[in-house]
Structure 1
Amino acid sequence: MTQQPPQIISSESPFAGDVFVKRHPALIERLIAVWPFAPGQRRALSELVEENVQGVIRPLPDSAADAGLWRDWGSSLYGQPWTSVPFLWAESFFYRRLLEATGYFEPGPWRGVDPFAPFKQAELAGEVVSAEIAALDDVAALADEERGQALLLSSLWGNRADLGFQITAGRGIEASGLVADDSARLWELLRSETGGTVALVADNAGSEMVADLVLIDHLLTHGLADQVVLHVKPSPYYVSDATLGDVADCLRALLHSKGKARAVGERLREAAALGRLRMRADAYFCAPFDFTAMPEGLRREFAPATVTILKGDLNYRRLVGDRWWEPTVPFAEVTDYFPGRVAALRTLKSDVIVGLETSTLAGLNAVPHWRTSGTHAVVQVRS
């Protein structure tokens, strides 16, 4: 792997700084508005807001089952302002502290209750998902290659309400937001290694997970993979990140639909029963580190895969490292440590970026907030 630049510290990034002083307080305000939290939970959440805005990082209570683990992970960071430590670590620890405040891991009625479930369920029941599912009948009429590309772009753009499955040949929104596009290389790789295993590391629940499931069905039914392993978070994380329960909710949404969407759901349910669709939820996906430190078990899983597809902004930050890279550093150089072939499908929602052409970067630098606005995306492959 090429020499690494400094990690992104929130105080050095207006975007990352706003996460702690604006976004996190707003999130907790929304949670308090939708849940009947007890006084102790409300107090813990309010204290977490105060810490984020003007306090210092406090460790988990000793009673937490993983307190020792987090004590080691943050031994040099506790007592500092949230915006003075690496952004990736601090953001991850915020969500662990939030779950502690709501009682997610503690015995009692709140144990295992996903605090973000109302937001995920509202999206899944909304018009965007309904429109995406209905559009599957149109997408099914496309030629195989066009259909595959449409489904890949839907999976890439995730919950962008103006795209979804409506990317079809000759109409809809053009993929003009792609600032790096290795999708042809990805399809070539999948076709040249048919019959193997594809690992897909998920990002969001809701409409994005629906799109991911439809893409998985396409890979399985067209012989581009004999088996797909879908990796999700073992517990709630980053508001919309997908857990196994979220996958089940999205599968039910397909099964309760009509037409092509229902057929997709039925095929996926059968694929799971036959072991062709497998689920994994490794604890490392909620750890505050990038993938250079992944445990050996995950390395052994990813290494023989035809390709590991990493979805979303957080997985991208963990793949390349949440660092101030020169944007033109080649993607292949930065990711050469990763076991096996890897592809990133990512909408840009944070500062880090690699693998851009010099001419592309020159144009982007004239666009305000292009790194963080979610209006640009990449498909990058190291084969």
Structure 2
Amino acid sequence: MDANNPPPPLSAKFKDSFAYPTVKERMPSIVAGVADTAFRSKVWIKEKYGEEGSEDLKKVAGGVSKLRNEMMTGKVLIPITDTRSDVKLWNDYLREVTERDGEEPTWFVSPWLYVECYMYRRIQESVEKCNILNKFDVFMDQKRKSLLDSAQPTLILLNYLMTVVNDLDSGETSDKQKLFKQLMQISLWGNKCDLSISGGQDNAQTSCPLDQVNKLRQFILRDDLDQVWQHLSSKSPSRVDIVLDNAGFELITDLCLAEFLISAKLASSVHLHAKAFPWFVSDVTKDDFDHTFQFFMQNNSLAMDMFLKRWKGRIEDGSWVFKVHDFWTSPFAYCDMNKYMPELYTDLGNSTLIIFKGDLNYRKLVGDRNWPTTTPFEDSLCGFHPAPLCALRTLKADLVTGLEEGKAEEVKEQDRNWMINGNWAVAVYCDRIVQ
């Protein structure tokens, strides 16, 4: 980035954001949904954990009710007070934001990225303060229902992948590039299943994912998948990283992609990066990953049985590595990773390709800034480039870079809400560092 041409300011104050009215309604509804989950869990929590569990549940309900009140009355953001290892990081950054902006951050006025991340950290604070329920996932029911409701598309995808893998294993597949682009697009459109954009309401995959690829190709605003293929296929099989987004059907599309990369000998290992605690309603945690395997065990399906055994083997032999890191549940843009978590930046530097999934990862890649849509993607990364990277993202927030001149105006004529409704996408690649 040229020092004489600094990046634009952080996106948004909520009031200036095109998505602001939607977000202002969505965030309180997510917090209210957590309180409702606590209320509906009273019976089974008491049966399983007794009175102490009931008292913990009251702590969760009380914590999120207080949070919602602060939010609705526009209070100043207050320090985190639980005992998680990341508390100092969050509170130090809260002071840093105050010093930078010259005022304490407040709800629906301060930059969207920080405030939205802070909301989920405060929800987790109410859980962390529990004695027994300190591992309670307040979004678990919604995530599991979404996975269950996506059972039929999941079966279609796994049956297809079973055929692909069998052909690869027998050496009968010739067009790996076509399959690679297809599975990357399936993983891309799996990102439509996002419970945070729906305010926690049902948002399961219901259509055939294979048909979807052809129907939705016209809605990819920038498609760099040929470049990604050229990069990956020109290297000896090595490490690929996938920074995961949503649990449920999207996670299954990501695991199918990971399987293809190994089976097609495009990667020798795939590192899967997940969240440290429940985040943005439907983001993947270790429990969600484990539950996906349990879901396979509960279904009478040849394909599910095959991939359950195969994927457990991947974990055991190290060709899949599942990782959790606090950085993914922090408020930082990724250009700050080397400053705050240099060991993660160094680790990612060992990758041949990093695939970032979803809207929040994209927002953090480009710093959640109001870039002109024609800004080169590599410029908008503000120097973040531990390794060649690809972002697969359906648009759910009002920022995007790397588009051709006139493309944004053309799409807006077709769809006024194109930046926030998840119906449009980018598959963008960067293989160079811009200082």
Q: Indicate if the aligned counterparts of 2:128 and 2:135 stay in contact, CA closer than 8 A.
A: yes
SS of residue matched to 1:83: coil
Question: Partner residue of 2:25?
Answer: 22
Out of 245, 268, 290, the position equivalent to 2:311 is 268
Question: Partner residue of 2:94?
Answer: 74
Mapped partners of 1:187, 1:252: distance in 2: 33
Mapped partners of 1:105, 1:41: distance in 2: 9
Question: Partner residue of 2:389?
Answer: 342
Opposite residue 279 of structure 1, the aligned amino acid is F
**Offset, 1:10:** 1.3
Change (3 A) 1:162 1:380: farther
SS of residue matched to 1:267: helix
1:41-62: per-residue Cα shift (whole Å, max 9, x none)?
A: 3332222112222221332354
CA root-mean-square deviation: 2.2
Superposition pairs for residues 230-309 of structure 1, below 5 Å? 230-257=272-299, 258-294=301-337, 295-309=341-355
Mapped partners of 1:268, 1:372: distance in 2: 34
Is 1:96–2:143 an aligned residue pair?
no
Out of 220, 226, 229, the position equivalent to 1:184 is 226
1:73-105: per-residue Cα shift (whole Å, max 9, x none)?
A: 11144854312211111111111111122xx22
Question: Partner residue of 1:175?
Answer: 217
**Offset, 1:297:** 0.9
Q: Indicate if the aligned counterparts of 2:270 and 2:321 stay in contact, CA closer than 8 A.
A: yes
Opposite residue 243 of structure 2, the aligned amino acid is V
Question: Partner residue of 2:75?
Answer: 56
- Gaps spanning 5+ residues in structure 2: where? 43-56, 165-172, 194-204
Question: Partner residue of 1:364?
Answer: 411
SS of residue matched to 1:108: coil
**Offset, 1:193:** 1.3
Question: Partner residue of 2:399?
Answer: 352
Is 1:156–2:179 an aligned residue pair?
no
Mapped partners of 1:297, 1:139: distance in 2: 35
Mapped partners of 1:305, 1:216: distance in 2: 14
Out of 359, 382, 388, the position equivalent to 1:313 is 359
1:340-373: per-residue Cα shift (whole Å, max 9, x none)?
A: 1010000100012100011422311312011111
Is 1:224–2:228 an aligned residue pair?
no
Question: Partner residue of 1:12?
Answer: 16
Mapped partners of 1:168, 1:223: distance in 2: 26
**Offset, 1:256:** 4.7
**Offset, 1:175:** 1.2
Opposite residue 218 of structure 2, the aligned amino acid is S
- Gaps spanning 5+ residues in structure 1: where? none
Mapped partners of 1:49, 1:162: distance in 2: 32
Change (3 A) 1:284 1:138: closer
Opposite residue 210 of structure 2, the aligned amino acid is Q
Opposite residue 337 of structure 1, the aligned amino acid is F
Question: Partner residue of 1:137?
Answer: 159
Out of 56, 59, 63, the position equivalent to 1:44 is 63
Change (3 A) 1:61 1:235: closer
Opposite residue 390 of structure 2, the aligned amino acid is A
Q: Indicate if the aligned counterparts of 1:163 and 1:173 stay in contact, CA closer than 8 A.
A: no
Q: Report the TM-score, using the length of structure 1 for normalisation.
A: 0.91
**Offset, 1:124:** 1.2
Opposite residue 372 of structure 2, the aligned amino acid is E
Aligned length: 377
Mapped partners of 1:112, 1:259: distance in 2: 33
Out of 204, 217, 223, the position equivalent to 2:246 is 204
Question: Partner residue of 1:379?
Answer: 427
